[in-house]
Amino acid sequence: MGITDLGTNFSIEKAHETQLRLSKRIVFEDVLPEKIRFVAGVDVAYVKDLSVGAVVVSDYSSLKVLESQTALSKTRFPYIPTLLSFREIQPTVLSIRKLHLQPDFFLVDAHGFAHPYRCGFASYLGLVIGKPTIGVAKSRLIGHVEDTIGEKDVALLEHEDEVIGAVVTTKRGCKPVYVSVGHMVSLETAIEIVKHCIRHSRIPEPILKAHQIATAEKQRITVASAVNK
């Protein structure tokens, strides 16, 4: 895994070593413009042996979608906990390359630093495209919930005495989301941004929109293939 290759000889152990090595390159400081204008959300859906990558770019203040793109690719890797990056990087990058607008950062439906080898898909994507990314996962991979910070809607996620992310209750009464640094952003800013992007769902609007577009494209593909038979 040079940084995007799935060479001939692959082993889970080597992949983990690579993730730990790549994690050293993660930037934990904000590398964002004075005024954030465009926020992107990415997601991937699956149909048969195909992966549908989707990305949306929304206006940061209104959260209205300004552009969306999708991309198809053959699914080349199975889902293996800790190795989600291998499964989702291809369709995701392909969809991002189609964008005309340049997002200030990307919200990713996965963990970033809150990973056993400190390099979840959100961080990996950030390193690959060289842009700021924030990990927003719907469930825990590792770590335990620590003390609540300030208000009672944010708690730290720790692992072996290290802060790896935050557990944020974006909607009262709903399950929390797990926020972690992807790349080129601080945990504090990541939490702030995730909260700002909440509307009707506990999931940040850009990721929700990307999910809907990926699902719609998946549906379109399913219907089209049914007609061709």
Partner DNA sequence: GCGACAG
Partner DNA sequence: ATCTTGTCGC
Binding site for DNA (CB under 7 A): 43-46, 79, 81-85, 109-111, 115, 120-122, 135, 137-141, 173, 215, 218
| 73-81: long-range contacts, CB 8 A cutoff, minimum separation 24 | 74/49, 74/50, 75/46, 75/49, 75/50, 75/51, 76/6, 77/6, 80/12, 81/141
Q: How far apart are CA 84 and CA 105, in angstroms?
A: 20
Q: How far apart are CA 143 and CA 165, in angstroms?
A: 9
β-partners of residue 59 are 38
In this complex, which beta carbon is closest to DNA, that of residue 137 or of residue 185? 137
Q: Smallest gap, in angstroms, from Cβ of residue 183 to DNA?
A: 13
In this complex, which beta carbon is closest to DNA, that of residue 39 or of residue 54? 54
CB 180 within 8 A of CB 113: yes
In this complex, which beta carbon is closest to DNA, that of residue 140 or of residue 171? 140
Q: Is 182 left (phi over 0), alpha (psi -120 to 50) or beta?
A: alpha
In this complex, which beta carbon is closest to DNA, that of residue 64 or of residue 74? 74
CA distances to 1, 118, 144, 194, 222 from 162, rounded to whole Å, are 26, 11, 10, 22, 45
β-partners of residue 67 are 57
In this complex, which beta carbon is closest to DNA, that of residue 28 or of residue 64? 28
In this complex, which beta carbon is closest to DNA, that of residue 58 or of residue 85? 85
Q: Smallest gap, in angstroms, from Cβ of residue 139 to DNA?
A: 4
Q: Smallest gap, in angstroms, from Cβ of residue 126 to DNA?
A: 12
Query: What are φ and ψ of residue 178, in 5° steps?
Result: -105, 110
